[in-house]
């Protein structure tokens, strides 16, 4: 446990996470929405104490419960008791619980303490998380009176409402991630430095991608699509930043395509990966499932042309007239990548300026803050 010294304000906000998932910028996004007269606490239920988290998360107090998988299954008595003790001490006026286990444990703790006036705001990050019969029953009969929901996109919000918990539409908020525009742009590497660090050959056009190497992101289709582009543009390469359980399978796929080693660069996971975006000429996201793609907003802030599928919450990033690819459509994605790499300077500038302005008007961190506070207060 880590706490900042000094006077503790009377109001508190408690953010509960299952474990550190490396997307620490989202921890701060929710914390920074609250003014400094709130005492801000983040709890990680699973996982050991991590010094690098303390260095990057802007909380007054960070607690690592380090609960085992067994303790987070079944009735979760140990987790409930420990969260209840934290709630009793911190006295939060707002509890933000990310994902299902955090939500159910937080509500159980409040019921243990008989605190009926405090609500848990459950943040749902992905589609299809609440559809099982067991979760429907828990949602309707256990969560409803003491919980409201936040979906990270309108698509996720509709998914929550369809789960059958009995919530009114006004009890579920669609709250897309926001971007600190000036801070993001100030953090970027120069194009030359980013390319040097990523070991990109000089003079090539770059398709960039940042994401976990998991099935939902469908990098397999991205690689197949880029292979088609490479036949026409051998002075191009694909850079994939990220790690995940499919890393070895994707590397094997590249070998099977007999592409030169310089054609597809696996850069691994990178801290604050947005810094590398100036290296890219096009950013691609070929997901088959997506709650809300913050990474596309970051690419728009970096003024990079986009190629994306229309899965999940992705269309909400774009203007209504945007042309999106069909998930899994290798030929269609390849065609869009080729066209984006061949844009003339004037058309490219018009596209990226429009994208940047869309973020300013719809997805800034200030807009996120106003919408979140309007809902929880």
Q: Which tokens go with 87? A: 């709630």
E-strand stretches of the chain: 2-3, 11-17, 38-44, 61-64, 94-98, 120-124, 147-151, 172-174, 205-210, 236-241, 264-268, 282-285, 306-308
Strands 61-64 and 2-3: antiparallel
pLDDT for residue 23: 66
The ranges of the chain with pLDDT < 50 are: 1-7
Q: How far apart are CA 282 and CA 278, in angstroms?
A: 10
pLDDT for residue 53: 85
pLDDT for residue 5: 45
Q: Which CATH class is domain 2-178+365-376?
A: alpha beta
User: Angle, to 10 degrees, between the axis of helix 365-376 and the axis of helix 24-32?
Assistant: 60
pLDDT for residue 10: 64
Q: How far apart are CA 63 and CA 248, in angstroms?
A: 34
269-319: per-residue pLDDT in tens?
Answer: 998 899 999 999 999 999 999 999 999 999 999 999 999 999 999 999 998
Asked whether the beta carbons of 302 and 191 are under 8 A apart, the reply is: no
Q: Which tokens go with 138? A: 């828990």
What is the side-by-side strand order in the sheet with 264-268?
264-268, 236-241, 205-210, 282-285, 306-308
Q: How far apart are CA 231 and CA 235, in angstroms?
A: 10
β-bridge partners, 44: 17, 64
β-bridge partners, 12: 39
Instruction: Give me the residue spans of the domains in the chain.
Output: 2-178+365-376, 181-362
Q: How far apart are CA 194 and CA 280, in angstroms?
A: 9
- 2-178+365-376 and 181-362: identical CATH topology: yes
pLDDT for residue 7: 47
Q: Which tokens go with 329? A: 């459509």
Helix residue ranges per DSSP H, the chain: 24-32, 51-56, 77-90, 100-113, 133-138, 154-161, 181-187, 191-197, 219-232, 247-256, 294-301, 330-341, 345-362, 365-376
Asked whether the beta carbons of 130 and 139 are under 8 A apart, the reply is: yes
Among candidates 21, 29, 153, 25, which has minimal Cα distance to 96?
A: 29
Q: Which tokens go with 358? A: 């869309």
Q: How far apart are CA 115 and CA 128, in angstroms?
A: 30
Which CATH architecture is the domain 181-362 placed in?
3-Layer(aba) Sandwich (3.40)
Look at residue 316 and give its three-state secondary structure. helix
Q: How far apart are CA 20 and CA 168, in angstroms?
A: 32
- Within 8 A by CB and 6+ apart from 203, the residues are 235
pLDDT for residue 76: 86
What's the Rg (C-alpha) of the chain?
22
β-bridge partners, 237: 206
């Amino acid at each position: 446990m880590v706490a900042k010294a000094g006077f503790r304000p009377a109001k508190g906000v408690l953010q509960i996470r299952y474990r550190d998932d490396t997307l620490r910028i989202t921890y701060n996004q929710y914390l920074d929405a609250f003014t400094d007269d709130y005492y801000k606490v983040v709890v990680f239920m699973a996982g050991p104490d991590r010094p690098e988290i303390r260095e990057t998360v802007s909380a007054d107090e960070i607690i690592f419960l380090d609960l085992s998988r067994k303790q987070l299954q079944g009735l979760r008595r140990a987790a409930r008791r420990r969260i209840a003790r934290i709630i009793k001490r911190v006295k939060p006026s707002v509890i933000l619980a990310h994902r299902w286990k955090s939500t159910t444990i937080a509500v159980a703790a409040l019921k243990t303490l008989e605190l009926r006036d405090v609500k848990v705001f459950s943040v749902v990050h992905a589609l299809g998380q609440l559809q099982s019969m067991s979760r429907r029953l828990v949602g309707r009969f256990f969560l409803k009176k003491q919980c409201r929901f936040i979906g990270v996109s309108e698509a996720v919000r509709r998914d929550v409402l369809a789960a059958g918990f009995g919530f009114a539409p006004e009890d579920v908020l669609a709250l897309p991630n926001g971007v600190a525009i000036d801070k993001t742009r100030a953090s970027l590497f120069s194009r030359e430095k980013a390319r040097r660090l990523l070991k990109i050959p000089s003079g090539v056009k770059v398709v960039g991608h940042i994401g976990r190497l998991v099935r939902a992101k469908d990098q397999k289709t991205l690689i197949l699509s880029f292979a088609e582009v490479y036949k026409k543009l051998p002075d191009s390469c694909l850079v994939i930043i990220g790690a995940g359980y499919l890393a070895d399978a994707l590397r094997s796929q590249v070998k099977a395509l007999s592409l030169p080693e310089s054609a597809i660069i696996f850069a691994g996971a990178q801290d604050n990966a947005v810094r590398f975006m100036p290296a890219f000429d096009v950013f691609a996201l070929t997901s088959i499932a997506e709650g809300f793609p913050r990474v596309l907003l970051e690419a728009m802030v970096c003024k990079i042309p986009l190629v994306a599928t229309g899965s999940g919450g992705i269309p909400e990033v774009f203007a209504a007239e945007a042309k999106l690819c069909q998930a899994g459509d290798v030929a269609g994605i390849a065609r869009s990548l080729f066209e984006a790499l061949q844009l003339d300077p004037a058309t490219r500038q018009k596209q990226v300026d429009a994208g940047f302005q869309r973020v300013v008007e719809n997805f800034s961190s200030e807009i996120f803050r106003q919408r979140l506070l309007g809902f929880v207060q």
